[in-house]
Each structure stands twice: as C-alpha cells, then as structure tokens.
Structure 1
Amino acid sequence: MSNPNLLTNRYRIIQHLGSGGFGDTFLAEDTHLPSGRTCVIKKLRPMNNNLQVYQLVKERFQREAAILEDLGNGHGQIPTLFAYFEEQEQFYLVQEYIQGDTLSNLLKKQGKLTEDFIKIILLKLLEVLEYLQSKRIIHRDIKPDNIIIRQSDQLPILIDFGAVREAMGTVTSSGGSLTSSIVIGTPGFMPPEQSIGRPVFSSDLYALGLTAICLLTGRSPRELEKNPLDGEILWRKYALHVSPTLANVIDQSIKAQTNQRFATAQLMRQALQEQSMMASTEPYFPPPQNQKNAVTQPIASPQPDNQVFDLFKITFFAVIIGITSLVGWAFFFRDNAVKTSNNLQTSSPQNLVWRSESNLTRIANLNQICFGTSTIGSVQTVFGYDKLPFSGAITIPSTKTGGCTTGDTLQGIFEMSGNSGNCVGTIKITWQDNDNAYVQWNINNLGSACPVSTRDWSTNTYPVEF
C-alpha cells in the first residue's frame, strides 16, 4: 500500500531547500535504508506539456541521469547519484547530500576570500574539470552557488550540472527535430558563446575565472565594468591585494574570444601551478666573506735574470692558491648554508612546525581561528631534506566563533612555498589548549611541484626540524 507522504513510496521530505525555473530541491530521508540516509531530491518539470514531446523529454532525462551517475561514481568531488525516477509526469533525481557551505555563503559570512584559499580551490576544481573534459562533458553553470566546500575534508564539490535542466526545455522544431528552447547558464558568469547555445570546454574556465573574481572582489560580474574597446572585464582595481601571477591566469581564462583562453582545464591548472612556483622562487645568495682580518702580502718584482724560474714559481703557486681557494670556498658555502638554515628555523611567534600527531604542536595565533578568523598567515615549516623552510598560510573556511574547547577539530587548507617548490594540501587541527593542538595533514601535489620524497611522509608521522 502506497504512502501519500512518501515520494515513490520511499523518500520522506524533510525540508524544502529552494526553487528555480525548472523545479524544486528538497532535503529528504531514504526510508528504505536502516540508516535513514539523508539525500537531496531535485524535482524537475518539463516546460512543454505536449504529449508528443513528453516521451522525448523522458528519454533525454534518462540519458542525462545515466551520465550523472557515471560522473558521480568516477570522481569524489561530484555528488553521487543514488536514483532517478518519474512520478506523475515529473522527473526526480536523488543525490548525495553534501554537508558544508557554498562559496556564496562563505562570501556572505567572511567577505572577500584570501588569495591562498582561492588558488587552492581553483587547483582542486580544475582537476574536476579535467575529469569532465576527459568525458567530453561541459558543466555550463559554474558559479559560487554551485560549489560547496565539503565540511568533512574542505574540498570543493561541483553541483547542479546543466544538461539535465536543459532536457526539461526540450521541444520539437518546425521540422520535427529535437532541440532545446532554453540556454543553460547564469548571466554574468556565462561567456558570450554559451549565451548563443555554443559552449566549448573553455566556457567552463571562463565561468571559473569569474567565480574567482567574485570571491576576490566581493562583487558580482554584473557590477564590473568592461573595456569598451575589447570587452575585457576590469576587475583588478577592486582586488589590489591579488598577486600579478594569479591575476594573469584569471585574465587569460576570461578572454572574450575562446581562442585567447586556455583551451583545456589541464593547461589552466599547469599555468596556475607554474606561476605560483615562479612567484615563490627566490635565488639564495650567501653573504660576502668577511675580509676584516685578511692579510695582503706584497708581491716583489722579479729580477731579469730569474724570470724563467720566477715564472715557474708563480705558475706553481697560482695552482696551489687556486686549489686552496676552491677548498676554502667549498667549506665556506657549506658552513654558511648550515648557519642560514639554522637561523631560518629558529622558532618565532609566527613559526609553525609540523609534528607527529602523538606530540602537541604550538601554533601561534591559533586562538584567532576559534573566534572567527579564517586565515593564519606568515606560517613556516620544513619540508624535505634541504632543511630550508617553506612559508605560506593556513585557511580554515568554516571557523568557530565562540572559542575552542579541548578536542574541537578544525579542517582547513594550506599552501606553503619555498625555494624548491610549492606544497598544497589539507590540514586537520585538533585543539587542545591555548595555541596548542594535534596536527594531521595531507599533501596533494607530491612531485615536481612539491619536491618532497614520499618516504618523508607516513600516516601519522611528519618531519620535525628545530
């Protein structure tokens, strides 16, 4: 016997989350599972009630839902599709519930987001877009509302793909062919070619660039002026704190002409990583040798009758002096490198050293993120065998506001850069007492960008240098 309070006699609606031009979104409970799993249900309604078109809409919906199922099973930053069904001439998607904040909500709570945070979000989303492009898929509606920072691991999750919504606008043309009566995308974030129904891979990169600009400036794309000569978006004056390296990558992604943008997500990701490494790489020059106590010996002029012998002596002693100098300089560079490394590793009020989770780590200004501050800057730590510290920042998107108590866990993202590379990843801080915590973290880009041998890392043990 069917239950009128359940969708398809299975899903109990808990809360109405929102409405749009294509239907409604609900939070629901799966009553067929012992856990009563929470899920998100999207109810989609066709824009055309013509019975002849309805069967076409149904077939297209099923195809697009099958694609969503494949995408969700293939990448951890795309919600899993649990089920899809039709009931009373309406179409339903049952998807994984992602607990966290959208980037729009974070912007409202915190104001402009930091450059370090934005760079990491871009890198992680570009990995998702690389996956989509390998499947020949274009999302078509990338914007802050459609990106959720998952609470469990702080990874950005891409939601609300446009293809299923487009299926709801299916109609038949005068010639009887299948077409769509709508254009998917959000004005301001949508590039010119998409607005006329011709999206390409770089259309998603354009929208991603505008998303980054929105988060860095606190302004929607429609609030930004355009250059009347070439149509370029004039945003930099609202984000003077942003480094030229990041701004250059964003600028290329939002070119009005598709052939001037990055062609693929992979190219944009590589450019972002290379620019970050170039910006963080500074050559090291040892201090000049102290000449204060050096003794200079006068050189006597050779007598004419001893020129041959003196030439031999000069040559011999020149070789000896040269060898001695090389050895001396070798020891000099070694000693100064050790001294420089030791000086840089001296702990300071802003110094953070990663430790084994079995030992407490003192994190300067940790209390700030217990009272609403999202970023700890001027952080230093030691990676790899070169013993030179990397510096950067830790960003905690979902901070606490009323203080921390022992055992509170804060999830975040870090980015550290140094002479030898750029390391990014996620971090978990378990607060213990005033500015002390247990630290666990994971590097996402081991390799050439982050030149740390994998033997430096294990599940619970991390390098320690003082």
Structure 2
Amino acid sequence: MSSTQFTDALPAGSKILWFEILKVLGKGGFGITYLGRDTNQDQLVAVKEYLPSTFASRTEDRQVHPNSPACKDKFEWGLKRFLKEAQTLARFRHPAIVRVVSFFRDANTAYMVMEYVEGEGLDALLKRKKTLTEEEVRKLLPPLLDGLEVLHNTNFIHRDLKPPNILIRQDGTPVILDFGSARQSVGDDMTSLLSLGYSPFEQYDSSGERQGPWSDIYAMGGVVYRCISGRKPADAAMRIAARLRNDADPMKAAVEMGRGRYSPQFLEAVDKALEVLETDRPQSIKEWRALLGIESMTTPGFSAKKMLNRGTANPQEEGQQPEVKRKKSSWRSFIASINEFSTPGAVAPEPSASASVPATASAPSPVPATASVPLSEKVQGSASLVLEHKKDSASTLLPTVPPVPRKNDTPKMLVESLTRSEFVQIVGGTFKMGSEANEKGRKEDEGPVHAITLNRFWLGRTPVTWQTWNRIMGDFPKGVFSPDLAQHPVERVSWNMVQKFLERLNKYSKGKKNFRLPTEAEWEYAVRAGTQTPFPFAGEGESLGDHAWIKSNSDEKTHPVAEKLPNPWGLFDMMGNVWEWMADGYDPGFYQSSPASNPRGPDTLEKKSLRGGCWRSLLRECRCANRMSASGKLVSNMVGFRLILEKPAGDTQ
C-alpha cells in the first residue's frame, strides 16, 4: 500500500528516530500504521502513528497539529490515551497479544512501535474460505481467550475485536492486533468508535461505565459467529431496537446457523456470549471458556502476571477477575442511560510530557549521617569501598585515591544528600575520543578519533532511578511512577523534562552544588575507564551480557540498577538498561572541529545526544564510541539519564 494514497501519511524513506518508514500498512480514523525498519537492529517493525484525521493533520514540516483551537483538547486527550495504551500493552508478554517494543512522543504526536507479524488477517482467511469448521475454530480460540484473560486480569479491555484485528501467523497461531481504547474518548461521531456487528450495545455509551470483560466476550462471540455463519452479526443497536418493539431478534441464533456442523454445546456458548444485555452474558473468560468446553492453554514459563516491570494500576491476583462497579439494571433502564453520553472534551486532560512541574513538592530532607552505601556491596571484581563520615559536610566522602585514574584504581565516591545517590569522582585526564575506521559496528559520526582533555567531575554511579526522580519531582508525569519500579532507571522522561528536574534539584541545593547532564566527552571518558577498546572489558563484546541489560537477556524490560558488573571505575549500567540523555545537542560532524578541552556540542540544536544503549540494544549499540540522537521532546520507555555533580561539599581539591 503506497504512502501516496494517503495525503497525511509519512512518505517512504522518512525517519522517526531510528525507525525508517517503508510503506503504509493501514489507516483508520485515529491513526496510520506503517511498515518500518529498525535501522539499529535491521529488522522490520510496525509503527503506529497517532493522527486523528477528523481533527488533526500534518503540516509541511511533518509536525502533527490540531486543525483548530477547538480541537486541541480532544487531540491532547486522545494523545494521552494513545500513550497510556502503549504503556499498558508494553507490559504484556503473551503469544496472542501483539508485542509493543517501544513508544515515544515526536513531531507533536505519538508513536507505538510493535513487532511486525507476518501472516493473514482472519478477515482475509474468511473471505477465502467463507466459514471455518469447529475443529479450526477450536484451534484458534484457546490462545485468543488466554490472551484476553491476561488483558482483563489487569483491568484492560480490547474494545475492538473483529476479524481484521486477528492475524493468523504463518505457523497457524493467532495474535490480537489493534486495540480500541485510545479511540474511546476522542470521537465526535459515535459510529467511528464502533465496529458494527462486533461492538456490544454498552459501547454506544461513551462513558464506558458498563464496559468490562463481557464486552470483549460479545465481540469475540461475534468473531466466532462470523466463522460459523459466513456473515457478520447484526448490529447491536438493531437488536435492541427490535427488542423495544417486542420484535424477533434480527440475528439468527448460532444454534440455527451452525446446526449439524457444530456441537450443540459450542453453539449455545456462542449465543450466550452474544446476549444483547451485558448482564446476561458470561462475565469472565473463565466462565465462557467453561461453556465452550475449552481448556486454558499451558504456555511454558508464562502466567497472566508475567509482564513487563511497569506494574499495573490495580494489580489482581493471578486468575482473579477484576471487580468492575456497574449497575445491574433492566434493559429498559439501560436504554434510558444511553441518553447520558459524556463529552470527551469535558474530561480534564492528564499532564503531557511538556506539562508544567507541580510546584507543591517540598525540598527533600537531607541524608542522615549514617547513610549506607548499598551499591558498594554490589561491586564484583573490584576493590572494596569503605564509607567514612565527614562531620559538618552535606556529603559523605571516601578516602582519596591517586589523582590519575587507571583501569583498576579504586574510585573516590560520595553519597550526595539531596538525591541520596552515589557519585564517583572521575579524575581529569586526556583520552582518545571516537572509534577507529576498522572498529566493528562503527558509524561515520564516531570519527575522526581525537584527543580530548577533561577536568575532574563527579558522575552518578547509576542512572537516575524512579525513587530519586519521585523524591524530587513527586508524581510527575502523573500516574507514571510505580513503587515496584523504585530501583529501576527512570524512563519516559524527555530531555526537556530532565531540565525541569535539574532546575528543581539545583534550586534545592541553594547554590552549594550544581547538577547537570554529562557531555558526550565526559560520558565516553567515564565509560572507557582508561581503556581504548570498543568495550571497557576484554574481548569483542562476548561478555557484554555480564555488564549490561540488552536485548539478549533483558526480557525486553528495564531492570533494577547495579545488578550487572560495573566498569573498571565502579560505574553501573553505563551500557544497556536505558539510553542516557547527554547535555550536548547532536551534531554528526562535531568531532571534525571539536575543542580539545572540555568540549560540548551545540546547545541550540533540537536533536540531543544519547549514549549507552538500552534493554533492547544489540552489541554494536553499546560500544563506548556509539552515538545516538533524538528530539529533546522524545518520551520513550528506552531513554533515561545520569547526573553529574559539580562542586560537592567537602571536595576541596
């Protein structure tokens, strides 16, 4: 499908971060899905772009904007729902649920990057075969029902189950695609939120109060009905209207459509799922599965709660159906309630990535004099670190070390009182920055190799964690922080948001200290730790998994900091886990004219530099010299940051 068929689609060859657009796979009223290529990993992906065509469009500079001021609230609300959906889906690891590998904001809109699944849509299969046998349907249903149960056990509803959104892989296994929750609150036209024939009548009520697992059960019942009968189910509104007139149901029952070809028990279970009143349907997948006579699949190593580490808003015990508050009312009162549609624009928007920081957070209390150094105990293969309290100092300092750091030197460290984080003193020196032309995986922006001299600085021993972020910023962005992630590196924070964090942190410091991001030169000097090899350890990266959370060992999620081996200077997670924002603006040709002393890339550039690789990175992305760039507005679950501390109290050298 050519991009030229859609006037708002990105042209083939466009790049969003490191994802290259190849062609349009499909377009709906609320977005465009592209076939893309992850240029870092050289693999195909599906890239879904939020672009609600009824009230937003793309400008010449490829930015997406609301069509008028009146559309702004709807656009922003839908954008936040889109990102929230991506965040939720990224938690799931189930073979029947399409895998979201990344999500981020860019070009004034949002993108969701998913695995690209090759296969045939169930709609295309049914177009060829007209109907399926009971044996064929029974093969498809178990993984689909198990996948839906995983969603429902975390209070998530698909809301748009239909044949086009079920893909049959080449090995015959099904996977659930496009989710409808992001559309739930942004459309003026109610029909744009529905898939007629598959959407239950409670979805006509945009408040969503009556929706639950039973809503997806209705839609899946409709999918099975289509497989049995060869025709789409009748629209739920028509069925309700007939009931109001005391007329017969316009949709023939499955027991009639499949008689003689399907078992009576199976057909009766399908009809039960298609009850027009939600209170008459099975209320859970477990209940419907029993009616169908289908057992849950046993997926080795998988459980309904084995998801990414993001946590859930209302976690349930495994197998426990989430409680949904709703009225058990008669069907006539249900019809009356449809007149109480809510207006999406009236809902208070959630804060965006660029929202103002709450001003109510109080300055964090200082660290007690007996503060412990938990990471010190985690250093493996390096000298032990002994903490010593220094009276009347805002920080605790370690004994001094020789002024010129060598590969196996014990670093000088401190525990900073505001962040309660460890910082390592990186003694100044001169090193060769960049990579040689023959280095495997090298890119053009890594050269030429050039000598750089740096002053001493203090670098965070780990990336900033959610615990530290929450300590300074409180619940900002709203609803993102989870206590389960306290020791994980912070992510989903743009470069611009990090500046707000720094502004607040420096305000609390009252001029005694200064916190900032490292420059590319400082970061590379620190990660190399006196080495000049592609990695700060022996070999060509064979042991990278011992030092970093990367694609091969991360289960595609972040992990608590300091679980892997540190580099020779005692720094953890310099490679993998999350990309780290740099202070520099990104200039691919900067090395050709870089200052020889304490260089920093241009401040005015919109693109900012990133270093270190992430949980999804391949070996070449984690090399010491590898450079990456992204818009300063980028919000991604793969990007975090690390701090530099200047002029710590007690540092008199």
Structure 1 length-normalised TM: 0.51
Partner of 1:45: 51
Q: Which letter does structure 2 place at the counterpart of 1:59?
A: K
Separation of aligned partners in 1, 2:288 and 2:12? 50
* SS state at 2:220 partner: helix
Judge conservation of contact 2:36–2:47 (CA < 8 Å) in 1: yes
Separation of aligned partners in 1, 2:75 and 2:130? 45
Separation of aligned partners in 2, 1:54 and 1:110? 40
Q: Deviations over 1:206-259 (max 9, x none)?
A: 111111011111111249996754647314443332221111100111111112
Q: Deviations over 1:54-108 (max 9, x none)?
A: 554443333222111112xx32211111222233323221111111111111111
Partner of 1:184: 193
Separation of aligned partners in 2, 1:181 and 1:155? 33
Separation of aligned partners in 1, 2:294 and 2:18? 50
> Mapping of 1:158-177 within 5 angstroms?
158-166=176-184, 169=186
Judge conservation of contact 1:13–1:27 (CA < 8 Å) in 2: yes
> Mapping of 1:56-455 within 5 angstroms?
56-71=77-92, 74-152=93-171, 154-166=172-184, 169=186, 184-197=193-206, 198=208, 199-222=211-234, 229=247, 231=249, 233-236=251-254, 237-240=256-259, 241-273=261-293
Equivalent residue for 2:36, pick from 11, 28, 42? 28
Deviation (angstroms), 1:17:
1.4
Separation of aligned partners in 2, 1:4 and 1:159? 23
Q: Which letter does structure 2 place at the counterpart of 1:163?
A: S
Q: Deviations over 1:366-385 (max 9, x none)?
A: xxxxxxxxxxxxxxxxxxxx
Q: Deviations over 1:318-360 (max 9, x none)?
A: xxxxxxxxxxxxxxxxxxxxxxxxxxxxxxxxxxxxxxxxxxx
Judge conservation of contact 1:189–1:211 (CA < 8 Å) in 2: yes
Judge conservation of contact 2:266–2:293 (CA < 8 Å) in 1: no
Separation of aligned partners in 1, 2:49 and 2:76? 17
Q: CA RMSD in A?
A: 2.9
Judge conservation of contact 1:148–1:156 (CA < 8 Å) in 2: yes
What is the total number of aligned residue pairs between the two structures?
Answer: 259
Separation of aligned partners in 2, 1:162 and 1:102? 17
Partner of 1:14: 22
Kindly indicate which of the two structures has a greater share of residues assigned to helix: 1
Q: In terms of Rg, which structure is larger?
A: 1
* SS state at 1:221 partner: coil
Kindly indicate which of the two structures has a greater share of residues assigned to strand: 1
Separation of aligned partners in 1, 2:112 and 2:226? 30
Q: Deviations over 1:168-206 (max 9, x none)?
A: x279xxxxxxxx988633011111111223322101001
Judge conservation of contact 1:140–1:184 (CA < 8 Å) in 2: no
**Stretches of structure 1 lacking an aligned partner (at least 5 in a row):** 172-179, 276-466
Structure 2 length-normalised TM: 0.37
Separation of aligned partners in 1, 2:165 and 2:150? 17
Judge conservation of contact 2:160–2:178 (CA < 8 Å) in 1: yes
Judge conservation of contact 1:183–1:196 (CA < 8 Å) in 2: no
Against the structure 1 CA distance between its residues 61 and 141, is the aligned structure 2 distance closer, same or farther, given a 3 Å change threshold? closer
Against the structure 1 CA distance between its residues 232 and 257, is the aligned structure 2 distance closer, same or farther, given a 3 Å change threshold? farther
Against the structure 1 CA distance between its residues 9 and 52, is the aligned structure 2 distance closer, same or farther, given a 3 Å change threshold? same
Judge conservation of contact 1:56–1:170 (CA < 8 Å) in 2: no
**Stretches of structure 2 lacking an aligned partner (at least 5 in a row):** 1-10, 56-65, 296-653
